[in-house]
Structure 1
Amino acid sequence: MEFLLYFIAGAGAGILSGLLGVGGGTVIVPMLVFIFTSLAFPEQHIMHIALGTSLATIIVTSISSARAHHRKQNVHWSVVRLIAPGIVIGTLLGAALASELDTTVLKCIFAVFMLLIATQMALNFTPAAHRQLPGKLGTASMGSLIGLIASLVGIGGGSLSVPFLIYCNFNARYAIGTSAAIGLPIAVAGATGFIITGLAEGNLPQYSLGYVYLPAFLGIALASMLTAPLGAYLAHRLPVAVLKKLFALLLYVVGLKMLWSLV
């Protein structure tokens, strides 16, 4: 039954990723928190394990997504190479910072982030293109910020990197494709950071590799790989604008529920 729940979470994340272009972490993290709580995982580690496991699953989905966008020539690899060092540094710092934060603080950070993403989706806000991509230092600095936030909330960073690239005069197709490739260094560095910091902790569940819970990783990764193409297929046949608003409503509920649980 436990593995079935992970498979369902991964299937939902894959479909939503392909359908709405949202990161799987927005679905995976709250579902993992719910499952780990019901399994009586140590309360002080629940959010850390959810974040680390989410980032580990994104390694698999980002490879698949980046390959698909590469075949369609939607990835600016020169930009990926330019931003990747900052991404890796920021993501590793985020994982180290998360290991020092209480799970209550991490839940609060995640909940507030969900409310912000929900508002962006509900308003369908896209930044206007105002400038070109900054130089090496500016791009690396922005990459560090994206990586830091992505690591703290367990996502692939698309909700941050896509608006940044559009702001820098990328059209939406190239912004989404390049963001998909940027998700790989975020996921690899983030998962590595959570594994390393988790190895120093005791009282973790059996089958954990640091803060990555392997049964959840396997179930979610397998399911999301299978269902992401289905989401992309449905995107051409369903009213995506309406679905985005409905998903924004769901994110509001998840974010507010997580905040309420902290009261």
Structure 2
Amino acid sequence: MDSVLWVFVDCLVLGALVGFLAGLLGIGGGLLVVPALIYLLPSVGINAEQLPHIAIATSLAAIILTSSSSARAHYNRGNIPWALFKPMMPGIIVGALAAAFISEQIPAHRLQQGFALFVLLMSAQMAFPRKAEAGRSLPGTWVLFWVSVSIALLAGMMGIGGGVLLVPFLTWCGLQMRHAVGFSAMTGLLISLVGSLGYVLAGADVPGLPQWTLGFIYLPALLGIVLTSMLMAPVGVRAASHWPTLVLKRIFAVLLFSLGLKLILT
């Protein structure tokens, strides 16, 4: 019980950091939460074969509350292009739900290596972001469907909301940044909801899961992260108007690169 309590306390600190960075830099927390949980959760008896799956599922569940507040704010500002949901929502649901069942079939060390490689790629994208393409337009319905399947599948398997993938794609297609971010916030909520349900169902019959898990979701860690992340996100938003966010984004990219290397080498 003491180890569970310490994980909860550590996740309170983690959630505060994730919430602050989300508000400050406009990034999702999954890229930081998953490596942290891979480090923390062995102390409560989670074995190596279950560790990446539980870390990713718990990270995805934590995104539900954080993305809901972001989606509500963008909705109030009229930043959500609702017409995009018709071609993309079915693919998002299919990809997010399938992610849990596919990741369950992947050996733990391969899943961890895949996440580490993804973190390295995202650190490069964050340090050197691509500029929007002028004059481009959104592709057709079937292309948008398969793109949404791919993004939701990858996001669900990596424990993220998908914004780091979806926003660059939409802005590259010529969508205004505020609409791309607003749509990403709403789809991040959908991915986290459907993906978390998938991880609950996929882990329901897995033997040997520790106490306090709901499917693959580890509840004490989830509670600690969401309690403080929601409190600290507004603090990060206020700091963003005074701090050099571009410099901090590149520093965070270096941190992500270091975490990715560490995960590959362990």
Given that 1:80 and 1:181 are in contact with CA atoms closer than 8 Å, whether structure 2 keeps it comes out as: no
Given that 2:45 and 2:210 are in contact with CA atoms closer than 8 Å, whether structure 1 keeps it comes out as: no
Match of 1:25 among 22, 30, 43: 30
Match of 2:232 among 222, 227, 232: 227
Match of 1:72 among 74, 77, 85: 77
- What letter matches 1:260 in structure 2? L
Distance 1:78 1:222 in 2: 34
Q: 1:197-231 CA deviation, whole Å, 9 max, x = no partner?
A: 10110111101000001111111112111111111
Question: Unaligned regions of 5+ residues in structure 2, if any?
Answer: 1-5
Distance 1:124 1:28 in 2: 22
- What letter matches 2:198 in structure 1? G
- The yes-or-no answer on 1:178 pairing with 2:183 is yes
Q: What pairs with 1:102-251 in structure 2 (closer than 5 Å)?
A: 102-129=107-134, 131-251=136-256
Distance 2:122 2:135 in 1: 22
- What letter matches 1:144 in structure 2? V
Match of 1:50 in 2: 55
Distance 2:86 2:9 in 1: 38
Match of 2:90 among 69, 74, 85: 85
Q: Label 1:127 to 1:113 Cα distance change in 2 as closer, same or farther (>3 A).
A: farther
Moved more, 153-162 or 20-29: 20-29
Match of 2:3 in 1: none
Given that 1:12 and 1:27 are in contact with CA atoms closer than 8 Å, whether structure 2 keeps it comes out as: no
Match of 2:68 in 1: 63
Distance 2:217 2:185 in 1: 22
Distance 2:79 2:24 in 1: 18
Q: 1:150-181 CA deviation, whole Å, 9 max, x = no partner?
A: 01110000001101110121121211111111
Q: 1:57-108 CA deviation, whole Å, 9 max, x = no partner?
A: 1111111110011112111122234311101101112211100011101111
Counterpart secondary structure, 2:203:
helix
- What letter matches 1:2 in structure 2? V
Distance 1:126 1:146 in 2: 20
Counterpart secondary structure, 2:56:
helix
- What letter matches 1:43 in structure 2? A
Q: Label 1:111 to 1:126 Cα distance change in 2 as closer, same or farther (>3 A).
A: farther
Query: Which portions of structure 1, spanning 4 or more consecutive aligned residues, are displaced by more than 6 angstroms?
Result: none
Given that 1:92 and 1:193 are in contact with CA atoms closer than 8 Å, whether structure 2 keeps it comes out as: yes
In the TM superposition, what is the alpha-carbon distance from 1:125 to its structure 2 partner?
2.6
Distance 1:222 1:13 in 2: 11
Given that 2:15 and 2:228 are in contact with CA atoms closer than 8 Å, whether structure 1 keeps it comes out as: yes
Distance 1:189 1:80 in 2: 15
Counterpart secondary structure, 1:31:
helix
Distance 2:17 2:89 in 1: 28
Given that 1:13 and 1:24 are in contact with CA atoms closer than 8 Å, whether structure 2 keeps it comes out as: yes
Distance 1:110 1:257 in 2: 11
Q: Label 1:259 to 1:127 Cα distance change in 2 as closer, same or farther (>3 A).
A: farther
Moved more, 125-134 or 47-56: 125-134
Counterpart secondary structure, 1:126:
coil
Q: Structure 2-normalised TM-score?
A: 0.95
Moved more, 94-103 or 123-132: 123-132
Counterpart secondary structure, 1:199:
coil
Counterpart secondary structure, 1:192:
helix
Question: Unaligned regions of 5+ residues in structure 1, if any?
Answer: none
In the TM superposition, what is the alpha-carbon distance from 1:14 to its structure 2 partner?
0.9
Q: Give the CA RMSD over aligned residues.
A: 1.2
Match of 1:101 in 2: 106
